[in-house]
Amino acid sequence: MRGSGAGALGRVVRSGVGRRRVQTVVIAVATMMAVAAAVVAGSLMVAAEAPFDRAFAQQRGAHLTAELDPVKASTARIEDTARLDGVTATAGPYPATRIHVVDAEGRRTPELLLAGRSGPRADVDHLDLTEGRWATKPGEIVLGTSFIGPAFELGSTLRISEAADSPALTLVGFATSVSETAAAWATPAQVRSLASKDAPLTSQLLYRFDPAPSTGEIGAYRTALAAALPSGALLGTQSYLDAKRSADEGAAPTIPFLIAFGVLGIVMSVIIVASVISGAVGVGLRRIGILKAIGFTPRQVVRAYVAQALIPAGAGIALGVVLGNLLAVPLLADTERAYGTASLSVAWWVDVVVAAGALLVVGTAALIPALRAGRLRTVEAIAVGRAPRTGRGRWAHRAAGRLPLPRAVTYGLASPFAHPVRALAMLLAVAFGTVAATFAVGLTASLSEVGSAQDPEDRAAVTAFTGMPSPHGGPQPTGGSEIPSVDPAQAQAAIEARSGTASYYGKTQEEATADGVSGSVRAALYQGDFRHGAYQMISGHWLTGPGQVVVPSRFLETTGAEVGDTVNVTLRKDTRTLRIVGEAFDTSDDSLEIHADLADFPSARPQVYLIEVDHGVDPAQYAGKLAAALRPLGGDAMANSPSERDNFALILQSMAALLTLMLVSVAGLGVLNSVVLDTRERVHDLGVCKALGMSPRQTVGLVLASVAGIGVLGGLLGVPAGFALHGYVLPVMGHAAGTDLPPSVLDVYDLPQLVLLGLGGILIALLGAFLPASWAARSRTATALRTE
Amino acid sequence: MTHVIELTGVAKRYDSAGAPALGPLDLRVAQGEALAVTGPSGSGKSTLLNLVAGLDKPTEGAVTVSGQRIDRMGEHALARFRRERIGMVFQFFNLLDDLTVADNIRLPAQLTGTPRRRAAERAGELMELLGIHRHARAYPGRLSGGERQRVAVARALVNRPALLLADEPTGALDSASGQDVRELLVDLHRGGQTLVLVTHDLALAEACASRTIHLVDGRLALDTRTEAVR
């Protein structure tokens, strides 16, 4: 008996799924797209968080690394800071200094922080010795794993300068510090012996806090630390958040973006599934009544209607998981590069959680209308299924009838008011589709702005080199000791003598140190008319003369300084107090780059000249002639080609386009589903209209008009919501990438574009309604008139 | 004599292998004639009506209505033809529930592009003529069957059609309402309206029709002319 009941139920479910093909496809596709977006978002979140957090916990990483002056603060005084509020563990103080390492072939590394530790084990920053062994005696060095490569082999001898008599160190191991407390390690005695006047000895103390501090709390700890030590003893600090951000940088900005799309997808899926099932109940009242009349229990009716949603949703979820995994691959590959970790794949539990969550959401969305179906009284269901419609929406017909529009159009315009819930579901689908489109258009424009704002050097038409290797080919300069071979005055004279020169400025990049920053910073120094070298500014202004410095957001975050403050910058042996006049939008790489006038540092000379040419002058020809003048002097010149677009931005833009297409399609499918329901329900009325002489074109007009108002309203709601979402998500993405965003990146919409996006709502609605409209126009009038 | 309807060798098959639902049939209906089509269920009465109204196309033969070969027309032309030349009255009224009585009547005129004011005047005229003007702002669901059928007749006549087709116009009515509608159709015929009415109701056929054809299994079994009703 039970078996036969289950068989009958199965047949009802199968016939329901088969009969309502459009709804079945809509549920499957909507669920697939929502699940795909959620899998991508979830896998990226896991990939972005897990590797760093796991490694940091295993190594008991340092939340704060302080570099201290041992002359101003005694060891006892430094050790006393371990008792500061919130500190749960410390390591050190370790002696530290800065060195360059030169390999056997004379290749020189950038400046490295060398810390003296007797072993890798410690209560804080427990290093992973990945290759070789620890340095146990003077003359040995351990390098960070980022140096692993052909240039640095275990057992090789390294020197700390090009001089033949400079101290030699044998490379005995490679180690990883997740907190990036140092780039190299040696015994404490070795470190002390390498310190010099130019590279003074410092003390390094590592702190852990409980709980893990936020950015603001790190600032408070830094202030407390400075207050607990003699004035000037705290030379600089480094937060674990810098290391985390550096590690997360590749994937972290995508997270808010993917969450936004994932949430949009899931919300749309819920709306559409709920609308499809409630619509199926609404138009199937008579069928429900008949099922009950022939002996189906209320529970069986509920199960039948839930199953009709779960079968296509189950297929959609399975496809969505596969699609999500495929889409996540390029983004995960980028994350891999960011961490330098082993291959990342979508965590299996992300697939399981997303699939289970989607089933739960779909099941719940289906259960509510299904329960309504189960509760319907048999006689009522049959009677309601046959009775004429209620009087809902008549006022709309009266009002629309007065509009000076063709009657078929006014009849259609009033139709949605007969089914307010269905119209609301359709409205939400259109609005969410418009939100997705608006957000994606803004995101794409913002990413384009980011791309064009990042490297002002690329904006120059021509670059003249004063003897350094070309930045477009060969190795990059490694430090500040190289002297350009062309006399700047001669280079400038050659540029000024060349006809077609509109403006130019000189630029060099050197290593420097700045108060409050542990380790070195990169200083970009400008000479001449350097307005064209301006970065997009988040706050303040670009350099206008000597005594000023422009810094990136991370510099302000690291040092706790603000625009308007002063900072001591030391380049070679020149220390200058510069006023911070602007916060630059610079996310070009991990290092801190500050910008100042070259006049502040007389020992520096331009490495390149960046030249704007007059309108109509061919940069390539100009560069060729300038190069001919500079080569005899030891320089060169070349025209700049537009820089290649950032790969990551391209991936994001492609993802945005794909996800938008998916969500807009889902919105269109939602409209399609609602209009199919509506058209089926009105098939008899449409037949009457056609019998009275309504032409196929008028019928299409009627059906399209029934969604036009919803499209307009959906656009009006969706565009501001998409605008707001962009305004919220972009700054969050920027913070994840370690920067605020300038207005040029945030204010990317213009009025005509917003109007067009608003019209997108109508387009979604009309496209969704077009198929059922054509079907209604083609349907046979005689058949429609026989339909109950 | 001018024929409003001219069917030549018309047959309609719904199943290519089976017998035709209608025909082959030759039929001519003169202007001003009132033709009653009778016959048992499945005899092809509604099929004949659908072919004449241009709602369906014959499998064979030619259907000419008001001098136009409608079996060769496309959907757009058929729609125009219906709204200009044909008025239809159905057994179950087929009024649009969400439009008022006046709006229902005006609808075919508005579909032809008749100016709003003229459509309203014509609808008012018909409501007055058919005695339903007091229901102008009411919705069909609140009217009796007879009143609804009067609304349906008014709607059918709003574009002054050459031909009025009625499919079981009294089939869903009680006897008093049926009598009411019968008198209305007689009046229309007396006014010169060409009528084709499909009915099981022999009394209706007798009262309204100047000619009755009887169909059996899709074929013409009887064609009887009666005294002019008018």
Please list every residue in chain B whose beta carbon sits closer than 8 Å to the beta carbon of residue A694.
79, 83, 111
Q: Which of residues 651-710 of A touch B (CB under 8 A)?
A: 684-685, 688-698
Answer yes or no: is pLDDT of A368 > 50: yes
What is the three-class DSSP state of B221?
A: strand
- Determine contact, residues A63/A213, Cβ cutoff 8 Å: yes
Mean pLDDT for A672-690 is 85
Answer yes or no: is pLDDT of A643 > 70: no
The token duo for B185 is 């159709």
Pairwise CB contact (< 8 Å): A388 & B82: no
Distance from CA of B215 to the nearest CA of A (A): 20
End-to-end C-alpha distance for chain B, whole angstroms: 18
Place of tokens 């067009």: A756
pLDDT of amino acid A474? 29
Place of tokens 């669920």: A31
Place of tokens 């807009």: A664
pLDDT of amino acid A481? 38
- CA nearest B113 in A: which residue? A406
Place of tokens 């009716």: A301
Q: How confident is the model at residue B11 (pLDDT cuts 50, 70, 90)?
A: very high
Answer yes or no: is pLDDT of A776 > 70: yes
What is the three-class DSSP state of A99?
A: strand
Q: How confident is the model at residue A299 (pLDDT cuts 50, 70, 90)?
A: confident
Pairwise CB contact (< 8 Å): A397 & B103: yes
Mean pLDDT for A288-303 is 77
Pairwise CB contact (< 8 Å): A781 & B55: yes
Answer yes or no: is pLDDT of A455 > 70: no
Place of tokens 């100009």: A622
Alpha-carbon gap, residue A97 to A201, rounded angstroms? 5
DSSP H/E element including A565:
none
Distance from CA of B54 to the nearest CA of A (A): 9
Q: How confident is the model at residue A496 (pLDDT cuts 50, 70, 90)?
A: confident
- Determine contact, residues A141/A169, Cβ cutoff 8 Å: yes
- Determine contact, residues A612/A623, Cβ cutoff 8 Å: no
- Determine contact, residues B190/B182, Cβ cutoff 8 Å: no
Alpha-carbon gap, residue A294 to A285, rounded angstroms? 14
What are the phi and psi torsion angles at B9 (to 5°)?
60, 35
pLDDT of amino acid A367? 82
Interacting residues of A662 by C-beta distance below 8 A, sequence separation 6+: A33, A36, A37, A265
- Determine contact, residues A296/A374, Cβ cutoff 8 Å: no
* Mean of pLDDT over chain A: 79
- Better-predicted residue by pLDDT, A466 or A502: A502
- Determine contact, residues B80/A695, Cβ cutoff 8 Å: yes
A407 touches chain B (CB under 8 A): yes
Pairwise CB contact (< 8 Å): A692 & B108: yes
Q: What is the pLDDT of residues A185-212, one digit of tens each?
A: 999 888 888 877 777 888 888 888 877 7
The token duo for A545 is 């003369």
pLDDT of amino acid B9? 94
Pairwise CB contact (< 8 Å): B76 & A408: no
- Determine contact, residues A265/A33, Cβ cutoff 8 Å: yes
Q: What is the pLDDT of residues A81-120, one digit of tens each?
A: 888 888 888 887 899 888 877 777 666 666 788 889 988 8
**Nearest by CB to A694, which of B55, B79, B100?**
B79
Task: Write out A744-770 in H/E/C secondary structure.
Answer: HHHCCCCHHHHHHHHHHHHHHHHHHHH
What are the phi and psi torsion angles at A720 (to 5°)?
-60, -35
The token duo for B206 is 């007798």
Mean pLDDT for B97-114 is 90
- CA nearest A398 in B: which residue? B99
**Nearest by CB to A696, which of B50, B75, B100?**
B75
Alpha-carbon gap, residue B49 to A224, rounded angstroms? 96
C-alpha A608 chain-centroid distance: 33
Instruction: Kindly tell me the burial class for residue A76, based on how many C-beta atoms sit within 10 Å of its own C-beta (0-12, 13-18, 19 or more).
Output: exposed
pLDDT of amino acid B60? 92
Answer yes or no: is pLDDT of A787 > 70: no
Please list every residue in chain A whose beta carbon sits closer than 8 Å to the beta carbon of residue B155.
692
Place of tokens 């390498």: A194
The residues with which A508 forms a beta bridge, in sequence order, are: A525
Pairwise CB contact (< 8 Å): B111 & A389: no
Answer yes or no: is pLDDT of A384 > 70: no
Answer yes or no: is pLDDT of B127 > 80: yes
Alpha-carbon gap, residue B197 to B174, rounded angstroms? 18
Please list every residue in chain B whose beta carbon sits closer than 8 Å to the beta carbon of residue A688.
94-96
Q: What is the pLDDT of residues B148-198, one digit of tens each?
A: 999 999 999 999 999 999 998 888 888 888 888 888 889 889 989 999 999
Alpha-carbon gap, residue A646 to A453, rounded angstroms? 12
Q: Which of A266-270, B61-65, B98-102 has the lowest mean pLDDT?
A: A266-270
CA distances from A525 to A542, A760, B139 (A): 13, 48, 83
Q: How confident is the model at residue B4 (pLDDT cuts 50, 70, 90)?
A: very high
- CA nearest B84 in A: which residue? A693
Please list every residue in chain B whose beta carbon sits closer than 8 Å to the beta carbon of residue A788.
none
A788 touches chain B (CB under 8 A): no
Q: What is the pLDDT of residues A544-592, one digit of tens each?
A: 888 899 988 878 887 888 888 888 888 877 888 899 998 888 765 555 7
pLDDT of amino acid A644? 47
Q: Quote the Cα angle for A182-A187-A193, to 5°.
A: 95
Closest CA to A200 of A573, A566, A483, A591: A573
The token duo for A49 is 């968080």
Q: What is the pLDDT of residues A311-347, one digit of tens each?
A: 888 999 999 999 888 887 776 665 544 444 444 566 7
Answer yes or no: is pLDDT of B105 > 50: yes
Answer yes or no: is pLDDT of A483 > 90: no
Pairwise CB contact (< 8 Å): A785 & B111: no
The token duo for A168 is 């030699």
Answer yes or no: is pLDDT of A480 > 70: no
Alpha-carbon gap, residue B157 to B83, rounded angstroms? 10
Distance from CA of B13 to the nearest CA of A (A): 15
Q: How confident is the model at residue A250 (pLDDT cuts 50, 70, 90)?
A: low
The residues with which A784 forms a beta bridge, in sequence order, are: none
Alpha-carbon gap, residue A787 to A720, rounded angstroms? 43
Q: What is the ipTM of this complex?
A: 0.85
Alpha-carbon gap, residue A434 to B19, rounded angstroms? 55
Chain B interface residues (partner A, CB cutoff 8 A): 50, 53, 55-56, 75-76, 79-80, 82-84, 86, 88, 90, 94-100, 103, 107-108, 110-113, 139, 141, 155, 159
Using a cut of 0.90, tell me whether the model's pTM lies above it: no
Residue type at position A757: L
pLDDT of amino acid A646? 54
- Determine contact, residues A505/A532, Cβ cutoff 8 Å: yes
pLDDT of amino acid A342? 42
The token duo for A211 is 């709980």
DSSP class of residue A240 equals: H
Pairwise CB contact (< 8 Å): A781 & B155: no
Answer yes or no: is pLDDT of A484 > 50: no
Alpha helices in B65-201, H assignment, sequence order: 75-85, 101-111, 116-130, 145-157, 175-190
CA distances from B200 to A712, B148, B170 (A): 51, 20, 9
Alpha-carbon gap, residue A445 to A230, rounded angstroms? 50
Q: Which of A229-243, A476-490, A515-529, A692-706 has the lowest mean pLDDT?
A: A476-490
Q: How confident is the model at residue A701 (pLDDT cuts 50, 70, 90)?
A: very high
Distance from CA of B205 to the nearest CA of A (A): 24
In sequence order, what DSSP letters do the residues of A260-322 get, joined into one string?
HHHHHHHHHHHHHHHHHHHHHHHHTHHHHHHHHHTT--HHHHHHHHHHHHHHHHHHHHHHHHH
Kind of pairing between the strands at B219-225 and B211-216: antiparallel
Give the percent of chain A with pLDDT over 70.
81
* Helix, strand, coil percent values for chain B (each to nearest 5): 40, 25, 35
| A&B contacts, CB < 8 Å | 81
pLDDT of amino acid A126? 84
Distance from CA of B189 to the nearest CA of A (A): 21
What is the three-class DSSP state of A116?
A: strand
Distance from CA of B75 to the nearest CA of A (A): 7
Alpha-carbon gap, residue A282 to A390, rounded angstroms? 13
- CA nearest A781 in B: which residue? B55
Q: Which of A6-15, A321-330, A518-527, A529-538 has the lowest mean pLDDT?
A: A6-15
Q: What is the pLDDT of residues A126-166, one digit of tens each?
A: 887 878 888 888 888 898 877 776 667 888 888 876 666 77
Most distant CA pair in chain A, distance: 106
pLDDT of amino acid A254? 63
Alpha-carbon gap, residue A436 to A426, rounded angstroms? 15
pLDDT of amino acid A340? 42
Alpha-carbon gap, residue B8 to B28, rounded angstroms? 9
